[in-house]
Amino acid sequence: MLLRPSDYFRMFSGRIRKTLGQHFLIQPRTAEKIVQALMVRPGDTVIEIGPGLGALTAHLIRLPCNLHLVELDADIAKALQSVMPSETPATVFWHIEDILSSDLLNKPGESKKAEKIKVIGNIPYSISSPLLMRLIENHRHIDRAVLMVQREVARRWTAKPGTREYGLPTVLLACCALTERLFYVGPGQFYPKPKVHSAVVKIKFFERACWEYPGWPYFRQVASRLFRMRRKTVLTILKSFMDATLAEQILREAGASPGTRPENLSPEEILRLARSIASKGQRTD
């Protein structure tokens, strides 16, 4: 890593900001494995979310890419900049801002071919859900993301139908990407040591999301409505915003059993259901 916690505290009078969920990765080998999973090629545009003390950054700056470092903590960004080599194979850009409000994810990379960007980071629990939505909404501009998140979050993102963890994030991701849980990371690899375990997840986005019809906003509305009432049957949920005859017709067309609960529907079945509802011009709000 570029800056050890002890040096940050001693040289820069640094402090841990609990409100930002700061837990710094201190195991170089783990950091190297995470960066390797991103598969950076020469000329790629890479966005690192929350470089912190530079555990991942130390490996990324050795690669000939356009590297955007997005850090909300201005003090830690200033400290990291001061210890970073002046010349590196990577072309480095700093952004002292919140990734959730940044426009970096909204546009393609800087190469002449305007290739898709790659995203990497150690993600605090508090922003994992809104960040996932940002990535999904901008999936057309993103090739892949390699993210370290809380273990329970990783399990929700990669869950199978019928399991406790399966839910809205699983379905939305499955319809626009292949998501793989790579490995777990124990609390002892961080400073300060968190109370939870972490996991590294790779998300490889499709060229085209499956929801092009009925469209992202509509599909998200339908899926959200289903999982807000996940213990109810699908027929009961549909009858909450349409008449029973239409609900039964939609289920027949989608090939879904009336007595099935949302947690037992595959992403493909939920997509068919959304398409059938949309074909009837049915509002879901």
pLDDT greater at residue 120 or residue 18: 120
Q: How confident is the prediction for the chain on average, in pLDDT?
A: 93
pLDDT of residue 113: 55
Tell whether the model's pLDDT for residue 7 goes beyond 90: no
> What tens digit of pLDDT does each residue of 231-275 get?
999 999 999 999 999 999 999 999 999 999 999 999 999 999 999
Q: For the domain bounded by 212-279, which CATH number is listed?
A: 1.10.8.50
Which of 97, 98, 88, 85 lies closest to 65, judged by CA? 88
Tell whether the model's pLDDT for residue 14 goes beyond 90: no
In sequence order, what are the beta bridge partners of 199?
149, 184
Percent of the chain with pLDDT over 70: 97
Distance CA(222)–CA(238), nearest Å, equals 10
Segment 93-115 mean pLDDT: 80
Segment 25-32 mean pLDDT: 96
Segment 179-187 mean pLDDT: 98
Q: Is 23 helix (H, G, I), strand (E, B) or coil?
A: coil
The answer on whether 147 is annotated among ligand-binding residues is: no
Between helix 216-228 and helix 267-279 the angle, nearest 10°, is: 110
Residue in this structure with the two tokens 């939609």, named with its chain if needed = 250
The answer on whether 122 is annotated among ligand-binding residues is: yes
Q: Which residues contact 164 (CB under 8 A, 6 or more apart)?
A: none
The answer on whether 14 is annotated among ligand-binding residues is: no
> What tens digit of pLDDT does each residue of 42-75 get?
999 999 999 999 999 999 999 999 999 999 999 9
pLDDT of residue 110: 56
Structure tokens, 105? 């994810």
pLDDT of residue 3: 79
Structure tokens, 261? 């609960």
Segment 269-284 mean pLDDT: 91
The answer on whether 143 is annotated among ligand-binding residues is: no
The answer on whether 63 is annotated among ligand-binding residues is: no
Residue pair 25/124 in contact (Cβ under 8 Å)? The answer is no
Distance CA(224)–CA(207), nearest Å, equals 24
Phi, psi (5° rounding) for residue 145?
-135, 140
The answer on whether 71 is annotated among ligand-binding residues is: yes
Tell whether the model's pLDDT for residue 108 goes beyond 70: no
Angle at 194 between CA 192 and CA 200, to 5 degrees: 110
According to DSSP, residue 150 is labeled E
End-to-end CA distance of the chain: 49
> What tens digit of pLDDT does each residue of 164-177 get?
999 999 999 999 99
Segment 36-44 mean pLDDT: 96
Which of 202, 221, 200 lies closest to 283, judged by CA? 221
Give me the residue spans of the domains in the chain: 5-208, 212-279
Residue pair 85/61 in contact (Cβ under 8 Å)? The answer is yes
Q: For the domain bounded by 5-208, which CATH number is listed?
A: 3.40.50.150
